[in-house]
């Protein structure tokens, strides 16, 4: 639990009242930690911060299983004011700190696990979007029940009726070969082939259609990150 320190003592109702007075008097000119000698619990104090705005936290050097060296972990559990309002006892706070210590030590750091879960979810959402066809990107994807969701380019951009009419017309007449293909499969070569096949109908309208295709594509920044290696919409500029 760390080496001896003037700021380490057994937390109790009485000692916490003393700590409260010290903090509220402004005794701490720098960020400091006051440690509980009975657990891995600590109170983090910042300059010009009241006691109730200070934080109960885990403060411990931990060597994670399988690693050669330990490192210092400082993780806030809750603010003092939150603990007071929720009637969280000192025993419960100690248990939270000690449980977190064991989780990190055993390689189950909640912070890292939450980050990995969020990254995985974001990756799945991007890959799911990449599998959507151009038609779905324009009008919206379908739910499992078959309902068209309002996550398409037209719904999310709140376009004018005239612009919607242009999109539907150009996609139907000039981009029909691409409409039902997964968007990530729309490679530069495929788009160029479609462009050359349709060029006889007038390059002006085809350029408009290609610009529309770029707009739909760029409407989803995550889509651009995933599919930039598959296609670059350079045709028709």
Identify the pLDDT of residue 149. 59
**pLDDT number for residue 43:** 96
Angle between helices 203-218 and 188-198 (to 10 degrees): 150
DSSP assignment of 109-146: -HHHHHHHHHHHHHHHHHHHHHTSBHHHHHH--B-TTS
Q: Are 16 and 1 in contact (CB under 8 A)?
A: no
User: Are the beta carbons of 108 and 117 closer than 8 angstroms?
Assistant: no
| Separation CA 25–CA 65 (nearest Å) | 42
Q: Mean pLDDT in runs of 10 for the chain (237 residues)? A: 67 93 92 93 94 95 91 95 95 96 94 90 70 75 62 74 80 73 68 68 69 74 46 40
The whole-angstrom separation of Cα 141 and Cα 146 is 9
Domain count, the chain: 2
Looking at the structure, tell me whether residues 141 and 78 fall in a common domain.
no
Domain co-membership, 20 together with 103: yes
Alpha carbons 59 and 36: distance in angstroms, whole number = 10
Same domain, 76 and 150: no
- Domain final position from 81, 108, 135: 108
Are residues 72 and 148 both part of a single domain? Answer: no
Residue 33 resides in a domain: yes
pLDDT of residue 153: 77
Structural domain contains residue 234: no
Query: Using an 8 Å Cβ cutoff, are 148 and 142 in contact?
Result: yes
Q: Is residue 34 part of a domain?
A: yes
pLDDT of residue 162: 83
Domain that holds residue 34: 8-108
Chain position carrying tokens 């060029």: 199
Residue ranges of E strands in 63-218: 71-79
Q: Is the residue at 1 inside a domain?
A: no
pTM attached to this predicted model: 0.58
Q: Is 26 left (phi over 0), alpha (psi -120 to 50) or beta?
A: left
* pLDDT of the residue at 3: 47
What does the block give as tokens for 124? Answer: 């799945």
Within a domain: 134: yes
Residues 148 and 204 grouped into a single domain:
yes
- Whether 113 is in a domain gets the answer no
């Amino acid at each position: 639990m760390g080496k001896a320190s003037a700021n380490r003592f057994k937390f109790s109702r009485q000692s916490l009242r003393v700590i409260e007075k010290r903090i509220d008097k402004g005794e701490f000119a720098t960020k400091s930690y006051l440690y509980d000698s009975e657990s891995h619990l600590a109170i983090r104090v910042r300059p010009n911060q009241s006691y109730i705005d200070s934080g109960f936290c885990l403060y411990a050097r931990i060597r994670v299983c399988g690693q050669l060296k330990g490192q210092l972990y400082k993780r806030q559990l809750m603010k003092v004011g939150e603990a007071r309002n929720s009637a969280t006892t000192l025993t419960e706070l100690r248990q939270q700190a000690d449980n977190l210590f064991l989780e990190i030590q055993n390689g189950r750091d909640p912070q890292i696990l939450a980050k990995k879960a969020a990254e995985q979810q974001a990756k799945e959402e991007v890959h799911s979007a990449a599998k959507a066809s151009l038609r779905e990107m324009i009008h919206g994807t379908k739910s499992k029940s078959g309902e068209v969701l309002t996550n398409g380019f037209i719904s999310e951009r709140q376009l004018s009726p005239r612009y919607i009419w242009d999109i539907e017309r150009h996609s139907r007449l000039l981009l029909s070969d691409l409409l039902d293909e997964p968007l990530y499969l729309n490679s530069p070569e495929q788009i160029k082939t479609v462009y050359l096949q349709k060029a006889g109908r007038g390059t002006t309208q085809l350029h408009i259609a290609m610009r529309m295709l770029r707009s739909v594509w760029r409407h989803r920044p995550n889509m651009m990150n995933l599919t930039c290696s598959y296609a670059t919409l350079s045709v028709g500029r």
